[in-house]
Amino acid sequence: MQNTKFASLKLPQSLLKNLDDLGYREMTPIQAKSLPYALGGRDVIAKAKTGSGKTASFGIPMLTQLNVKSFKVQGLVLCPTRELADQVAKELRRLARFTHNTKILTLCGGVGFGPQLGSLEHGAHIVVGTPGRIQEHLRKGSLSLKHLQMLVLDEADRMLDMGFYDRITEIINLTPKKRQTLLFSATYPDTIEQLSASIQRQPVSVSVEAVHKSSDIEQCFFHVEKSARAEALIKLLATYRPESTVAFCNTKKQCAELAAELREQGISALALHGDLEQRDRDQVLVRFANRSCSVLVATDVAARGLDISDLQAVVNVELSRDPEVYVHRIGRTGRAGKSGFAWSLYTERELYKLDAIAEYQGNPIEEGNLADMKAPNDFELRPPMVTLEIAGGRKQKVRPGDILGALTGDAGIPGQQVGKIDIYDFSAFVAVKRAVANQALKRLEKGKIKGRNFKVRKLR
């Protein structure tokens, strides 16, 4: 039987202690399968979904081979979205605590180019970024990959879906031939095989079972007429009243239309799709993650990298043709020992998709009956929190503690009424309980943060 303890790996004691401090004791299945090969210097192609612990699968070997005395870029992680890049960089920084002065930079579009140039001038060991912005820095000569030891493609299938193939190959052509390349993908389309063949040397292929336990996720399929998808979704929300739901559509247009229809019915809903500006995308993700939006209506590409804790339900408003995508979608609920719902709507013409899903999972499809459900006329689904946006962020030296203090100091709002606080370069977001939202808004408008007055508004 395979030893799945991190202590069984040949790792520095300082790293093992840090892993233990972080709660990393037993390896996840993808870590147990990929780490021995990655630590041995092999190229790896790994099939793993979001939330499987894959960041440590490439982060640990990347960090162990760093020469921290040399401020040259030795590790590069390419991600499809800024959100995923931020998550990966955050986790790498946690893993890197065992050694001093490890500099990890995030280079993504949607943020100013100038500050990134300044950071690069001071050097970095690891860069995490999106293909477009990495390519831009390479073309301008502000980033060099001549000393790269390890290249990681995270969620490679989605990067290809988003049309990044040419950018990825251009980036790779500027890296040393003798680098180590790790490729992580939730699905294995032919394009992934082609990409692997062109950039990897005799890769070891590892995968973990992608199906979900029925005890973790309650899956149910509902037959609907094509025009009744929104009505069916409202019935499900009214019957079960989940606090947080991701509803998947296949196109941007359908996302925007469905979110608008839900809002008309008194349901707190936001759309997440590729046409959003980065600022709007940030706001949508912040509000959903901090519980001030009940339903996120998203496309697959836009939701990639979305990792929301305690997500109660996933709804396939439209089924994907690929059963692997179905499994990947519903895997966002029922995590960390908690249960979740996965509801799927299908029309007569989509029965073949149900057969493909049943065959892929090795389990029969369970069908539900929408006729037994009725949405009351006065039904509303309001989130427990409200988000306040502050026109000041990292660049103004605003920290979460400053915002919390401004809200709770001098017999202000009780600390338990304040939720998640997110700080960006030029803005900050704080979630507060709905009952104290107006009081919190007035307190921030009239009070001071870091001794300064900032504009504050309530996001609706």
Q: What is the pLDDT of residues 231-277, one digit of tens each?
A: 999 999 999 899 899 999 988 899 999 999 999 989 999 999 878 88
Task: Assign 113 a pLDDT band (cuts: 50, 70, 90).
Answer: confident
Residue 289 in contact with residue 420, Cβ under 8 Å? yes
Listed in sequence order, the DSSP H helices in 101-251 are 113-121, 131-140, 156-161, 165-172, 190-199, 229-240
Task: Assign 288 a pLDDT band (cuts: 50, 70, 90).
Answer: very high
C-beta atoms surrounding 421 within 10 Å: 21
> What is the number of H-type helices and E-type strands within the chain?
17, 17
C-beta atoms surrounding 15 within 10 Å: 20
Residue 172 in contact with residue 34, Cβ under 8 Å? no
Q: Phi/psi of residue 75, each to 5°?
A: -135, 135
Task: Assign 140 a pLDDT band (cuts: 50, 70, 90).
Answer: very high
Least confident span in 31-35, 39-43, 319-323:
319-323
Q: Higher confidence at residue 313 or residue 209?
A: 313
Is the Cα dihedral 158, 242, 430, 53 positive or negative? negative
Query: What average pLDDT is seen over the chain?
Result: 88
Residue 24 in contact with residue 6, Cβ under 8 Å? yes
Residue 444 in contact with residue 390, Cβ under 8 Å? yes
CA 422, CA 121: separation in Å to the nearest integer?
A: 27
- Per-residue pLDDT at 57: 94
- Per-residue pLDDT at 224: 93
CA 106, CA 104: separation in Å to the nearest integer?
A: 7
Residue 19 in contact with residue 94, Cβ under 8 Å? no
Q: 208 pLDDT exceeds 90? A: no
Q: For residue 211, what are the contacts with CB-CB under 8 A and spacing of at least 6?
A: 327, 360, 361, 362, 363
CA 21, CA 442: separation in Å to the nearest integer?
A: 41
Gyration radius of the chain's alpha carbons: 23
- Per-residue pLDDT at 1: 47
150-153 and 295-298 beta bridge pairing: unpaired
